[in-house]
Amino acid sequence: MPFAPISKVLIVGGGTAGWIAAATLARLLEDQPCRIELVESDEIGTVGVGEATIPPILDLNRVLGLDENAFIQRTQATFKLGIEFVGWKQEGARYFHPFGRYGADVGHVDFAHYWRRLRDLIGDEAGTLEDYSLPSAAARAGKFMRPDPNPKNVLSNLAYAFHFDANLYARYLREYAQARGVVRHEGRVVDGELDERGFVAAVRLEDGRRLDAELFIDCSGFRGLLIEQVLGTGYEDWSHWLPCNRAVAVPSASAGPPPPFTRSTAREAGWQWRIPLQHRTGNGHVYCSDHVSDDEACAVLLGSIEGRPLADPKLLRFTTGRRHQFWNRNVVALGLAGGFMEPLESTSIHLIQSGLTRLMTMFPDTGFAQADIDQFNRASTVEYKRIRDFLILHYVANERTGLPFWDRCRTMAIPDSLAHKIDLYRSRGRFFRFEDELFTATSWQAVFEGQGIVPAGFDPIASGVSFEQLRSTLNRMRETILRGVGAIPTHADFIAQNCAASDRQN
């Protein structure tokens, strides 16, 4: 006997995760007889003071049909071309993780092999890998424009994401979702009610109300109100690999034109973020409480921000890891309810987005086929583990000797999956992308090279191009990138001319 379609979805929790879920479901289920509701409490605060993203968010905006300029204005957003890492290899060292790609096609293997061969032949004259990245060069110059639609133009190689105010983003998506029929309930959820199968039948609110549904999306944050407190799903702790367990965050006044990139600066027992918005700057210090106290971490943050603080510092406690199941019975966990990996590579919103994409590709009926649930959990687990490995690489590949936190990170045992990637790169600079993992060769190469993991050689196929052709081709690439950067407006001018927020004090 066929099962009935899902007729009602309840999202538990608002914030970024909840309202992304509500907006996405409202858009993609608009032709279905499915009621979407969300319950949240204004008494429960949200986590972020600023949010950095990665390029897949452009796909989310397209799915929702958002006007990009309006989205930027409403969320006080700026553009992001990548992440600058300061002091991660050793004190004073810098490198840039750009969006997009390095170089252009030269032959039959990845561009980096040709660059490495040329560098072996002529040394520093070949430049750095960053010299062959248009987003890196534009970021250094403080410039931005949207990619040129002509693929033959070097300016088509710009790739970007956004920085925005997380609270304004949630408010923006709330308006979007409610305009498309999502019903919002105000109230604090205190418990869940199970049916005879052990599925969640309803949630109970503090005031006694009962909200039922057939499918529940848990966006309740770290506490995992349904996925953990009601269903007891369990949590896999990754703090032995990612030992930072606290963060202190504070907004500050802008101290000049906003740069088109996020900055991550290594500190004694963690790292500090800087996220520039139109109306202010988001700052935070992620650290390990085994090596620095909360008061010391707060003092480090307040002593190094570029503008005056606009609020009191906010302390967050967390344990890195993931739920044993992201989808358990009729509950799907998104955002912090599903797991947490520190915001080092700006993956938080992407994980919400990709979880929703998976859910929509195997949207259930009331039968909740276990095969679909298992596939969802398998794919989600793989994605989390691959991102985890990429984050661990930043810590293990450091030369900050003599500092207990960094010595601990450099000498820790790492997952076999990461050790395999490092061994492949050390050998001949090869990278293989497994199971649709998020980060591409560019991302891994940026961190490998930036933190001193240098291959013993390059792919032999790169020797098929003559030395003179190789040198002239790569020289032209660098010259073309420099000319391209010269034609790009400053980041501040681009925003002013296209998408400046009307209320800079919001």
Provide φ and ψ at 84, rounded to 5°.
-95, 130
Residues 6+ apart with CB under 8 A from 413: none
The conformation of residue 490, written as its DSSP 8-state character, comes to B
The conformation of residue 198, written as its DSSP 8-state character, comes to S
DSSP assignment string, 308-355: -BSS--EEEE---EEES-SEETTEEE-GGGTEE--GGG--HHHHHHHH
- Pairing of the two strands 35-40 and 8-12: parallel
Take residue 110 and report the two structure tokens written for it.
Answer: 């990845």
Please give the Cα distance from 42 to 212 (Å, whole number): 21
Please give the Cα distance from 364 to 246 (Å, whole number): 37
Angle between helices 68-75 and 166-179 (to 10 degrees): 130
Burial class of 491 by CB neighbour count within 10 A (0 to 12, 13 to 18, 19+): buried
- 3-state DSSP helix/strand/coil % of the chain, to nearest 5: 40, 20, 40
* 194 CB neighbour count, 10 Å cutoff: 13
Please give the Cα distance from 294 to 483 (Å, whole number): 47
Please give the Cα distance from 90 to 450 (Å, whole number): 10
Please give the Cα distance from 47 to 396 (Å, whole number): 28
* 297 CB neighbour count, 10 Å cutoff: 26
Residue located via tokens 């191009």: 465
Helix (H, G, I), strand (E, B) or coil at 403: coil
Please give the Cα distance from 246 to 313 (Å, whole number): 13
Residue located via tokens 């009935």: 4
Q: Establish how many alpha carbons lie within 13 A of residue 214's alpha carbon, considering only the half-sphere containing its beta carbon.
A: 15
Sheet (strand 235-237) strand order: 235-237, 321-323, 339-340
- Which positions are annotated as active-site residues? 80
CB contact at 8 A, 65 and 26: no
In the chain, DSSP finds a helix count (H) and a strand count (E) of 14, 22
- Pairing of the two strands 215-218 and 183-186: unpaired
